[in-house]
Chains A and B, each alone.
Chain A
């Protein structure tokens, strides 16, 4: 028994505590913004946060909060509050739980600080537009919509011009709400930090190319919070540097994320937040490590379009061409690259009823992976933070059958 505990201790991520501390401090600062006179903006997870940081506005992410609600298994209860108001149980469970939470200040941290403004970028979905309209009415505060035209097959010149113009409208909006001039020097620095943070995050994820992998995608789901919420700060860079060092140390010492990595898998879509532990244990019991995912890499996937020396201009393209704002064929290309890059034996797709832009098209992606790479795939259906939608026994049976297929193939 002592040996087992030691084993477990060895595998534990040392950076986890630091990360929790940073996030706790971040939420304390956000929740006491009223006392410090700082403004709070709610912003969508794929939204351009750097101008907020440059203006000393505290960015708060209802989606990150949604993930916390889900992980605390409080999603169902808060979703129900929204449903009582007439919201359909079919819509996004992040939105439902957030709308419910605004009413009762519930959830794991007693609700989010009241926003002074809302920044909605539709590069992740059309749902955020509707959700932020709901909150703009509820809190009666200004809403800025950063409209990033969908890139089915191209990033058209017309879109380029439009998005670039909106960056100036965005900074103008912030000047109005904050009552001060936009700091063009500061944004250069924030932009540089943002790009560096994204590069480090990609390097952290890349360590999963090692066999055995020092981390799983479930770890990535956890460590993701900083690149989402505090992108553009030195703190994020310092943290990811340490995390990268820890991962590299693990690789050097041969510490794997799961005890016996025999099979390597790729995850698609958002996490099922209330089942992270269960799923990671379930797969580990089959000696399967989910080494990578299409979700957490979305926060560094458009680095190729970003220029740290010309941040504001290049962020237009960077934010418009993120993973969810591109056509299914381009997604297929990225998934196929990931299959090779991380050398995986199988593909696990979360068919997420909460997220249509991520989920519709999955069947075509699944077929392409099957055709091009010949690896088995599995589809698990749920609503990402509404635990009422999850069937454990059904999922378990399907995972077992899927792993049996993988075993036979390898």
Chain B
């Protein structure tokens, strides 16, 4: 499947790809978190890419952020201060957790990428006034973009962007579903590269590649064997470590679905294509699977993880939590309890910027998987 190489190339070298894109005349805006209304950025003609932490050492960010701040936030700042994001024409911070909130201030005061916007979203999504506010704040963001970038974002452009993103999300979901049905057609690492690249790649090009991939999978994909492998769900915030998938597979398991913001939370939910475009974009977030920094109900995430496990006939859950991630740390005990109640085993893996050694991880996964 040659098309996979394109995804890997982008997922593994997002900056290189972005610089090339920039040379072709595209302006680029970096964003944090899956609550960024990418459709509006895309409709402005500017290319949105998601920013992650760093693969390297963190030194410059240490003079702005304490060590008890998560590695995603520290790493992102490091990339900015090191000058590795020099291709950016702007940054967008949607309001999510306390750490990203402060990163936004520190970023605004210490970097200069041109356009800057905070999109101060509501934290609750389950009331009429919060949903109305969500739409209001997206309308404000649309104006901010127009003013800041000197562009006009028409309803027609928004509608085109909505269709584009609906197609991307549907395709990603379809791939996940094909993989859940027959895990042998793609490795976990492949799927990681595809979803990761989806947040970076030029989106029309992405759609072409996604359909090529779908065609290849229909012909059997990698035709790997997955019989006897224990089916698992991966839950957490972002997964920056594709090795996790490989080690799980080497240990006799396979990740068949996830509750990650770089996974299913990114592609779940479709935007109504015939309504007021900005209000429809806002409406999706109120329906979509919720991040722990947002409130949908007291039990939304616990109910959901059980639902995912059952729907995908999984035998257990791996919680992959980033150290110092408060919202996830608060949800973990009750989500585990909900799983325990259903006799669904789970294990917790807490990671900082780098994974524990492969041997150690393999032992832990093997022990867990044998228990299932």
Chain A residues within 8 Å of B, Cβ to Cβ: 85-88, 90-92, 95, 122, 125-127, 129-131, 133-134, 136-137, 143, 145, 147, 149-153, 156, 158-159, 161-162, 165-166, 169, 327-329, 351, 353, 356-357, 359-364, 381
Contacts and interface: CB of A to CB of B under 8 A. Distances in A.
Contacts of A145: 123-124, 295
A130 B334 CA distance: 11
Interface string B77-111: 00000000000000000011111011111101110
B329 A88 contact: yes
Contacts of A357: 98, 101-102
Nearest to A84: B333
B137 A158 contact: yes
10 contacts: A87-B333, A91-B326, A126-B96, A127-B330, A149-B133, A150-B95, A158-B136, A353-B66, A357-B98, A360-B69
B131 to A, nearest CB: 10
B109 A130 contact: no
Contact of A359 (B66, B95, B298): B66
Contacts of A162: 122, 129-130, 132-133, 136
B9 interface: no
B324 interface: yes
A149 B137 CA distance: 10
Interface of B: 63-66, 68-69, 95-99, 101-106, 108-110, 118, 120-124, 127, 129-130, 132-133, 136-137, 139-140, 292-293, 295, 298-299, 323-324, 326-327, 329-334, 336, 348, 350
Helix, strand, loop or mixed for chain B's interface? helix
Nearest to A151: B120
A356 B330 CA distance: 14
Contacts of A327: 105, 108
A134 B98 contact: no
Given A85-B333, A90-B329, A147-B130, A137 B298 contact: yes
Contact of A152 (B104, B123, B295, B299): B104
Given A91-B326, A127-B98, A364-B110, A136 B298 contact: yes
Contacts of A126: 96-98, 101, 123, 293, 326-327
Contact of A364 (B106, B132, B292, B348): B106
Nearest to A159: B120
A353 B323 CA distance: 13
B336 A86 contact: yes
Contacts, number: 147
B98 A356 contact: yes
A147 B126 CA distance: 12
Contacts of B96: 126
A275 B158 CA distance: 56
A149 B95 contact: yes
Contacts of A88: 329, 332, 350
Nearest to B95: A150
A152 B108 contact: yes
Could you say which of A85, A327, A353, A356 has the most chain B C-beta atoms within 10 Å of its C-beta? A356
A360 B334 contact: no
Nearest to B293: A126
A99 B133 CA distance: 32
A351 B104 CA distance: 19
Contacts of B120: 149-152, 156, 159
A134 B326 contact: no
Nearest to B65: A360
A361 B333 contact: no
Contacts of B292: 130
Given A149-B122, A357-B101, A90 B327 contact: no
Contacts of B137: 149, 156, 158-159
Contacts of B136: 158, 161-162
Given A126-B327, A329-B105, A361-B102, 10 more contacts: A90-B324, A90-B326, A90-B329, A126-B98, A149-B121, A156-B120, A159-B120, A328-B105, A357-B98, A360-B103
Nearest to A153: B118
Contact of B98 (A85, A137, A147, A360): A360
A87 B293 CA distance: 16
Contacts of A86: 332-333, 336, 348
B102 A329 contact: no
Given A143-B298, A162-B136, A91 B64 contact: no
B279 to A, nearest CB: 13
B298 A133 contact: yes
Contacts of B68: 90, 353, 356
